[in-house]
Amino acid sequence: MTFTRFVEVGRVVLLNFGPNEDKLATIVDIIDQNKCLIDGPVDITGVARQVCSYKRIALTDLTVKIERTSTAEEIKSAWEESDIMAKWEASSWAKKLSSKKKRANLTDFDRFKVMVARKQKSAIIAKKLATMS
């Protein structure tokens, strides 16, 4: 089994710990075997340029074409060219993350509505199943 996602300049990563949890960033430079320099860019994802340990990031499939010492503007234009945000939102990873967040923020009334909707759905399925068998 070969690896397909590498820690490289331009790799888009998801931060999964800390104040910037669940935000995207790009690897701008590799510092050593434990940490790298990441940049949002700030205008698109809200992550400022900072040092980040590999333990706090998860590699995604997406990459951008940037140089090792790119500025924030260069990264931003590269992101807009490749339309990274749209590609990310379309991925099932991003969809699962957002649905988890939605579930966690449901109010008691919302949970009741979900329960009613699930009952209606299973009633439709059961009815269809009865006609098929």
Partner 1 sequence: MTATKGSSSKGPRYYPAEDIKVTKKHLPPQNPPKTRKSITPGTILILLAGRFRGKRVVCLNILESGLLLVTGPYKINGVPLRRVNASYVIATSTKIDVSNVDISKHNDAYFARSKEKTSEGEVEFFSGDAPKPAIVSDDRKAEQEKVDGSLLKVIAGTDMLEGYLSARFTLQKNDRPHVMKF
First to last CA, the chain: 44
- Cβ neighbours for 95, distance < 8 A, ≥ 6 positions apart: 89
Interface pick for partner 1 out of 48, 106, 123, 125 (rule CB under 8 A): 106
By C-beta, is 104 or 132 nearer to partner 1? 104
Handedness of CA 77, 82, 83, 88 (dihedral sign): negative
Using the rule CB under 8 A, is 108 a contact of partner 1?
yes
Instruction: Please tell me the count of residues contacting partner 1 according to CB under 8 A.
Output: 9
Q: How far is the CB of 21 from partner 1 (least distance, A)?
A: 16
Residue 55 to residue 94: CA distance in whole angstroms: 20
Using the rule CB under 8 A, is 113 a contact of partner 1?
yes
Residue among 93, 46, 6, 7 nearest 18 (CA): 46
- Look at the block and give the residue holding tokens 């888009």: 12
Interface pick for partner 1 out of 33, 92, 107, 133 (rule CB under 8 A): 107
Interface pick for partner 1 out of 33, 109, 132, 133 (rule CB under 8 A): 109
Binding site for partner 1 (CB under 8 A): 104-109, 112-113, 116
